[in-house]
């Protein structure tokens, strides 16, 4: 009996970082998080950044912020950590009190401003900064003029990504026909990334063009994914919304309940619950 107790109380050997990264790349986020947490080299900037990505996908935003702060203490010029830091802080805005929202949003803006200062050629960082300026309220640092200026910089790096940014501006201005053209072009031209097709599917849902939304979502599903593309729960949520729009209520509920079972991030869980309530 003592031998059995010793055997079962001995911790399993930690997986390698390569194995943890493989789990993450395959979308096995809970398993990846457990693997990263088991690694011994918890103080290296690379490990802290990878751990933060897994914590972000698990909805552990406070833990992700701590990991990123530690990583940036070691490497203040780590632009990937700054990019993720902005994403984490924006995601937290929906879960904090109204008194903390503006401050947290401004912290996200600061992260992306630092990123672009350090690396003006970081396309997704420049896009994130432009999108923030264009969409955030003025009290939180939103500024249309600054957003358009950053879009011009983005256009010098990638005309396709500039189109994606201009879609955000046109949508804000409710110029939906022009926005659709811009977004379709961006989605076609940024063929190496999946999320523009997801944005297009969501746009068509908002426009109640559910047949086109299904085509765009199928396109998203067929594309190769990266860590910051919408996760499977968000795909199921859009599929549920499309089915609901097409009058297929039973299938819509099935997809949305599937999404609710998959989702880990609290801000995304709120979106899924809202979609279920609309059925």
Alpha helices by DSSP H, the chain: 2-9, 17-25, 29-38, 45-57, 61-74, 79-92, 98-118, 123-135, 144-157, 159-172, 176-189, 195-206, 210-222, 232-245, 249-262, 266-277
Residues 158-177 pLDDT 10s: 999 999 999 999 999 999 99
Residues 122-146 pLDDT 10s: 999 999 999 999 999 999 999 999 9
On whether the CB atoms of residues 237 and 64 are closer than 8 A, the answer is no
211 Cβ contact partners less than 8 Å away, ≥ 6 residues apart: 246
Helices 123-135 and 98-118 meet at what angle, rounded to 10?
A: 140
pLDDT exceeding 90 applies to what percent of the chain? 75
Residues 216-230 pLDDT 10s: 999 999 999 999 999
On whether the CB atoms of residues 36 and 20 are closer than 8 A, the answer is yes
Full set of structural domains in the chain with CATH: 13-76 (1.25.40.10), 79-157 (1.25.40)
Secondary structure (3-state) at 90: helix
Query: What whole-number distance in Å separates Cα of residue 171 and Cα of residue 124?
Result: 20
Res. 13: pLDDT tops 50: no
Res. 212: pLDDT tops 70: yes
pTM exceeds cut of 0.95 = no
Residues 33-53 pLDDT 10s: 888 888 756 678 888 999 999
Residues 58-85 pLDDT 10s: 889 999 999 999 999 999 999 999 999 9
On whether the CB atoms of residues 93 and 105 are closer than 8 A, the answer is yes
């Amino acid at each position: 009996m003592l031998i059995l107790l010793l055997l079962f109380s001995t911790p399993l050997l930690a997986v390698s970082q390569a194995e943890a990264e493989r789990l993450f790349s395959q979308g096995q986020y809970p398993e990846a998080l457990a693997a990263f947490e088991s690694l011994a080299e918890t103080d290296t900037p690379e490990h802290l950044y990878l751990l933060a990505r897994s914590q972000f996908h698990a909805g552990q935003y406070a833990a992700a912020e701590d990991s990123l702060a530690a990583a940036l203490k070691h490497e203040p010029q780590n632009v990937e950590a700054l990019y993720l830091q902005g994403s984490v802080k924006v995601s937290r805005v929906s879960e904090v009190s109204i008194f903390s929202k503006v401050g947290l949003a401004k912290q996200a803006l600061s992260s992306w401003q630092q990123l672009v200062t350090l690396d003006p050629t970081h396309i997704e960082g420049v896009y994130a900064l432009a999108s923030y300026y264009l969409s955030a309220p003025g009290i939180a640092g939103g500024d249309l003029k600054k957003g358009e200026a950053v879009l011009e910089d983005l256009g010098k790096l990638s005309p396709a990504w500039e189109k994606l940014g201009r879609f955000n501006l046109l949508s804000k201005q409710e110029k939906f026909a022009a926005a659709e053209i811009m977004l379709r072009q961006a989605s076609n031209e940024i063929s190496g990334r999946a999320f523009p097709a997801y944005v297009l599917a969501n746009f068509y849902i908002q426009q109640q063009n559910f047949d086109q939304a299904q085509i765009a979502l199928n396109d998203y599903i067929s594309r190769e994914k990266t860590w910051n593309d919408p996760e499977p729960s968000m795909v199921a949520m859009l599929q549920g919304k499309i089915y609901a729009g097409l009058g297929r209520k039973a299938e819509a509920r099935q997809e949305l309940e599937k999404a609710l079972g998959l989702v880990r991030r609290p801000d995304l869980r709120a979106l899924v619950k809202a979609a279920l309530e609309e059925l």
